């Protein structure tokens, strides 16, 4: 048996407030995670090796395997995340980064798949123009292949431009922990509304 803990009214009030925030994070996780998916991508093999995209979120499989000139060409494999944003009959649409879908020239892409599953969850989209510095920021995705991971932080800045190839405009900076494989996953506010797509690690 553990001895009872004596808590002062002030500490009790502080713990209650902390538990309220914890309850909010639990709500976000249970609400958003069902609409966040992992994307495994295999590009068509080409005669010339495809270089790895400069956005370091998206990574290819093991690079230590040497290919001989006469060996059969293999597709390049990658891992990323996506957010289910729409359903039309059996067709489900997933929002992700364009480099996850196989092309690093633009920011956003849609991937679609067919399913008869009735339990597909659609993410709620928020208004990114209302995001302010200091807001809670929750990132969801599959970093390093760890499906359904959630990290939290705050909005560090808004309206950032640049990126690895100066190809990202007006993006949200956050200190929520994000790793390779999170690209294309959701960045949501404290109400579980998607306000951004995880794109770039600086």
Q: Residue 28: which region, alpha, beta or left (left: phi > 0; alpha: psi -120 to 50)?
A: alpha
Active-site residue flag, 107: yes
How far, rounded to the nearest angstrom, does the alpha carbon of residue 64 sit from its chain's CA centroid? 27
Residue 25, token pair as written in the block: 């994070």
DSSP state, residue 72: P
Q: Which of these is catalytic: 107, 128, 135, 148?
A: 107
Kindly name the residue from 35, 81, 99, 149 that is annotated as catalytic: 99
Instruction: Name the catalytic one among 35, 81, 142, 183.
Output: 183
CA atoms within 13 A on the CB side of 180: 13
| Contact by Cβ (8 Å): 126, 188 | yes
Residues in the chain: 202
Q: Is 28 helix (H, G, I), strand (E, B) or coil?
A: helix
Q: How far is CA 190 from the centre of its chain?
A: 16
Indicate if 156 belongs to the active site: no
Decide if 183 is catalytic.
yes
Tell me the catalytic residues: 99, 107, 183
């Amino acid at each position: 048996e553990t001895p009872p803990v004596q808590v002062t009214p002030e500490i009790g009030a502080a713990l209650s407030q902390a538990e309220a925030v914890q309850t909010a994070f639990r709500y976000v996780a249970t609400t958003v995670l069902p609409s966040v998916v992992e994307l495994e991508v295999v590009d068509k093999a080409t005669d010339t090796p495809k270089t790895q995209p400069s956005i370091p979120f998206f990574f290819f499989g093991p690079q230590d395997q040497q290919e001989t000139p006469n060996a059969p060409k293999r597709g390049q494999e990658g891992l990323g995340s996506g957010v289910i944003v729409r359903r039309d009959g059996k067709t489900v649409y997933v929002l992700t980064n364009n480099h996850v879908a196989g092309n690093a020239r633009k920011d956003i892409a849609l991937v679609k798949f067919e399913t008869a599953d009735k339990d597909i969850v659609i993410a709620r989209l928020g208004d990114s123009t209302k995001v302010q510095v200091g807001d809670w920021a929750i990132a969801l995705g599959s970093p390093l292949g760890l499906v359904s991971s959630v990290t939290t932080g705050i909005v560090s800045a808004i309206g950032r431009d640049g990126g690895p190839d100066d190809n990202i405009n007006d993006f949200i900076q956050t200190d929520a922990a994000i790793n390779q494989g999170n690209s294309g996953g959701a960045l949501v506010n404290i109400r579980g509304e998607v306000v951004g797509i995880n794109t770039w690690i600086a």
